[in-house]
Structure 1
């Protein structure tokens, strides 16, 4: 092929993205002009991304996923873009986030830390800065992590936001993060969240004891086609689960968890009590 540039995926994330894009294109025997005729980008733009002269973007990745039929698959360009941009995040999490942005319903359970979708900037920055002090992140990576979190929260204020059902272990609201002012603002944010029409907020109290079915954070997503995705993580990595039997089992456990939790009114009352008791 004339002027065909050899690609070196090992040169970096952008080069790896370009090489993957070329593989997807050539697997279908398409030229860059063929692909350009199917999307809103020119063949020159596609060439520049393939050869790592231009960085890919999220809209570019999503549009090409639609054309290639790779939405939500291991070949997804959106997933690769997320991993490239947010490589300092937990393994598997960028794949989950790609699904989260398209979910119509989000169910989650959390321990110790307020869930990211509900964190205030001050709370999120305090957590990120703690990683910097421990040496597990640079300050730039910490700031990128907070910026990424704020982008994710944009899903909650779009025209048709997802239904968001959140269960928090009592430890989430009692563990102080970022000092009294930051924590008070965070607790106020939870009260505001509980007032939204697309929210359900519950606290799993300490006295639930062994009746609490989860010992790790769990997220369950319902997509527009009513299919479901589960995501769970340990300290070391996250895992996206698509197998129906496993997802349904987690959903059943989530329903059992909700049945044992405080009501939303009682949960808000607990948050208010903690907030007022802070010095």
Structure 2
């Protein structure tokens, strides 16, 4: 399977801001290419984050757009940050949609997630993740080495929960997930113990939606990524859905709908304290 390094949020922020600056000066891509002796394709690649913007190129663009002072310093700092490699870039066979998602997830300020099928990836144990990944062999055969890499990547993603400045993680999980067997009883007990520990982290809000309460919102599993401003450059929220395939959307209408859906589900779910007790009770049944 061919892979590609998903552009980071920093690269996308920079690209969008450079495009905005060009448009504010009423210049076309062809105009910029002519004035800088570049190809129009190069301008397009930079503005669409299809290639990393080199610092000298960014400096020339800022000169052309007459950007000076603090704003120039901020954008050059963003360009330097955008040049840093993400850890996922070491996995050369990572599918493009997954690389894109990891790049987005790693820079989110808040992660809102509703999960009805299985334990969310950021909360999975290695054993649980391995059993799930092995299950995909029924759809697309993966050799043992690829399975091991997929599990390693999933566990590596969880490092963000232990960063000095971690994102807020707001999880609502269907109670059925606690009873849906993945692996054997030992795998499930370990997984539920781990879930309870993650729920105790100060930046994590974990809630279980009981099976016996009215569900006013019935929606597929989703993740909504929200991004804080960086160097005064905003980035749109992204809604991510994943089942057999992966898709993303930055359409504000959709992200708003999913935010409302998450708020509704959280309002019907157990409190974090009640959730912890429900997880412990479910763990004792395995």
Q: What TM-score, normalized to structure 2?
A: 0.67
Alpha-carbon distance in structure 1 between the residues aligned to 2:83 and 2:237:
16
Alpha-carbon distance in structure 2 between the residues aligned to 1:97 and 1:202:
24
1:123 pairs with 2:138: no
1:220 counterpart residue number: 224
* Secondary structure in 2 matching 1:185: helix
* Secondary structure in 1 matching 2:223: strand
2:160 counterpart residue number: 155
* Secondary structure in 2 matching 1:165: strand
Cα RMSD after superposing both structures:
3.6
Q: What TM-score, normalized to structure 1?
A: 0.68
Counterparts of residues 173-188 of structure 1 (less than 5 Å): 173-188=178-193
1:66 pairs with 2:74: no
Counterparts of residues 119-268 of structure 1 (less than 5 Å): 119-132=124-137, 136-214=141-219, 216-225=220-229, 227-233=235-241, 235-268=243-276
Q: Verify the 8 A CA contact 1:191 1:271 in the aligned structure 2.
A: yes
1:48 counterpart residue number: none
1:272 counterpart residue number: 280
Alpha-carbon distance in structure 1 between the residues aligned to 2:277 and 2:255:
32
Q: Verify the 8 A CA contact 2:3 2:94 in the aligned structure 1.
A: no
Alpha-carbon distance in structure 2 between the residues aligned to 1:261 and 1:24:
55
* Distance change (3 Å), C-alpha of 1:235 and 1:171: same
Alpha-carbon distance in structure 1 between the residues aligned to 2:81 and 2:39:
7
Q: Which ranges in structure 2 are unaligned for 5 or more consecutive residues?
A: 8-37, 45-52, 59-75
Once the two structures are TM-superposed, the CA of residue 265 in structure 1 deviates from its matched residue by 1.4
Once the two structures are TM-superposed, the CA of residue 69 in structure 1 deviates from its matched residue by 7.6
* Secondary structure in 2 matching 1:197: coil
* Distance change (3 Å), C-alpha of 1:85 and 1:200: same
Q: Which ranges in structure 1 are unaligned for 5 or more consecutive residues?
A: 1-11, 18-22, 40-62, 72-76
Once the two structures are TM-superposed, the CA of residue 271 in structure 1 deviates from its matched residue by 0.8
Counterparts of residues 49-128 of structure 1 (less than 5 Å): 66=79, 81=89, 84-87=92-95, 92-128=97-133
Alpha-carbon distance in structure 1 between the residues aligned to 2:39 and 2:193:
47
Once the two structures are TM-superposed, the CA of residue 97 in structure 1 deviates from its matched residue by 1.6
